Chain A
Amino acid sequence: MTKERSLKKAKRSREILTLLAACLIAGIILYPFFWVLSTALKSDSELFVFPPKLIPAQIIWGNFADAWKLIDFPQSFLNSFMVSVPTAVLTVVLCSMAAYALTRMNFKYATAVFFLYLSTMMVPQVVRLIPSFVLVKNMGLMNRYTGLIFPLVAWAIPFGTFLIRQFFLGIPKELNEAAYVDGAGHFRIFIQVIVPNAVPGMLTLGTYVFLQSWNNLMWPLVALNKSEMFPITLAMASLTGPSVEFIPPWNEVMAATLISILPILLLYLFLQKYFIQSVALSGVKG
């Protein structure tokens, strides 16, 4: 009896310890977020107080208004959207079509084609960078949305096809075989049978690719040189960093950083499940 009780007690204290440790790590992860917010709200003079205080002595909401003027936020957000949304949609459509062919059309070389797609994952970013730049330049696509979109789609295709294929394999074959017997063509089966059953998979891939292209720095850095085309990442990068001569006051920079990540944080709030799932899937199946 007493042994059981002490065992229970040990289990309980272990649970509390785990919870405390989990909170500690959460604190470490959230620490920068709190400081960014706190700094964004500080007055100019308080920036030089050391050690800095987490709760500002005086809260200056006007910093956000000043930060809004640092870069052309509406234009940068628009640029980011005009690149990320088409990239995500196009990737999902093309990968779904490829995955349909690979899983539903039973042709001889399906496995070989699938491995070809997979093997292109081995080509790292550094290798494709320079030739892609040359290509986009020669095609006259520098400083254009399409010059960003097409390469980004291409680079997302290997993983995307892999992911969607996994989802398609989970859809019972009887569904499309029944439709085939009824005389439906591949386009109709694809759109009316397979796609409606693979919506979660497509959303998972879509959110993943959207985020990847929204956050991408290197490709816009290479393929754009007109500042009115800059997506939010590049616009923010031109604000601070060691290559910048004049860095605005930190409170405004932090306020601008918060504004810049707000759309993604909101999206995360609603689509968390899909973001996390895309990562979990890429790990388990290797």
Chain B
Amino acid sequence: MGEKGLSRMKRIRKRGIMIFLFLMPSMLLLLIFVLWPMLYSMVLSFYEWKPLKDNVFVGLANYKELLHDKLWWISVWNTLYYIALNVPLIMAMALGMAALVTHTKLSKLFRGIYFMPTMLSLVATGIAWNYLLGTNNGAVNGLLNACGLSSVKWLTSGKIAMVSIVIVTAWRWAGYYMVMLVAGMLGISEQYYEAASLEGARPWQKFWYITLPELKPILVFIALMSIIGSFQEFDLFYMITSGGPGTSTYVTGYYMYQTAFSSMRMGYASAMSVVLFVVILIFTLLQNKFTKSE
């Protein structure tokens, strides 16, 4: 090997060290707090894990227990119910907001207002709505009464509590997804609309035949993103209903938290988290597939 080859190898090695230096800090953190936890969750789910005591390997016992756990199935059902109500409402609101705001005068002002709830912590959101939705002296019932309607037991009726949380969720998140849709709408070529105008298309026709199809990739993305988010929703349930009344708003994320940190059954809770992971993973893969093919 000549002098040239040696210095070239030195250069390559130096470059390797530089790449390593630039990537290492972020990679290290990912390994410790994302990849390792993922694997460790799976391991834990095969153990009966109790703090202060030894771990006992129990095989699939946690998963078997999960199959027969009534509260788990209730929470699964509640979560699906929450998603079924939540996702269409958020999307309709976000779409409506975006359509109103994209080309209107004062558009910036409205966008700023619609996006504002997204800034708030879910804790503050929960506290405020807890008061607003009060049965006896809440402002929402006050408004209903003023319109000649009777009061609703927003948070104290098992049938309605979930609907209440859906309303709060939509209020908090619609502006978030609106921003994505506005970005998408601004990206649609003006020429389509001009051509449609020449043909005499009405505004709603333009919206239906041009805007919606053009936005389809973003809409699919938003739908899957809010499904994934709703599967994990915890803060609002913790703040507003704590799973009640009864078990009517017990959702999987909340049950898992309770099992792990109140009942201290980490192994069992890990089994839940692994099941949730698989479900969420399916939706994430769907999302990737759709966003790539478009």
* B38 CB contacts on chain A under 8 angstroms: 123, 127-128, 131
- Categorize the interface residue count of chain A: 35 or more
The reply on B145 being an interface residue by CB < 8 A is yes
Q: A97-B22, A135-B37, A154-B29 are in contact. Are A261 and B120 (CB under 8 A)?
A: yes
Task: Name the A residues within 8 Å of B266 (CB-CB).
Answer: 130, 134
Q: Are B115 and A217 in contact (CB under 8 A)?
A: no
Cα of A117 to Cα of B12 in the assembled complex, Å:
24
Interfacial residues of chain A within 20-44, with CB under 8 A of chain B in the complex:
21-22, 25-26, 28-33, 35-36, 39
- Complex contact A126–B241 (CB within 8 A): no
Interface residues as binary, A1-16 with B (CB distance below 8 Å gives 1, 0 otherwise): 0000000000000110
Asked if B83 is at the interface (CB within 8 A of a chain A CB), the reply is no
Which residues 49-103 of A have a CB within 8 angstroms of B?
A: 49-52, 54, 94-95, 97-98, 100-102
Q: How big is the B interface, by class?
A: 35 or more
The answer to whether B127 and A113 touch across the interface, beta carbons within 8 angstroms, is: no
Contact in complex: A51, B40 (CB < 8 Å): no
| Selected contact of B218 from candidates A95, A272, A283, CB within 8 Å | A283
Q: A283–B180 Cα gap in the complex (Å)?
A: 5
B129 within 8 A of A: yes
Number of A-B pairs, beta carbon distance below 8 Å? 285
Distance from B4 Cβ to chain A, minimum over Cβ atoms (Å) = 19
8 A Cβ contacts from B105-120 to A: 105-106, 110-120
Q: Which of B56-64, B65-73, B271-279 is found at the contact surface with chain A?
A: B271-279
| B116 pairs with A14, CB closer than 8 A | no
14 contacts across the A-B interface (CB closer than 8 A):
A25-B100, A29-B116, A105-B18, A120-B35, A121-B284, A122-B285, A124-B277, A126-B277, A241-B238, A241-B240, A279-B115, A281-B183, A284-B180, A286-B291
Q: List 4 additional contacts besides A98-B27, A217-B235; criterion CB under 8 Å.
A: A25-B97, A124-B276, A124-B277, A129-B273
A interface residue numbers (CB < 8 A to B): 14-15, 18-19, 21-22, 25-26, 28-33, 35-36, 39, 47-52, 54, 94-95, 97-98, 100-102, 105, 107, 113, 117, 120-135, 150-151, 153-155, 157-158, 161, 185-186, 190, 211, 214-215, 217-218, 221-222, 232-234, 236-237, 239-243, 250, 253-254, 257, 260-261, 264-265, 268, 272, 275-276, 279-284, 286
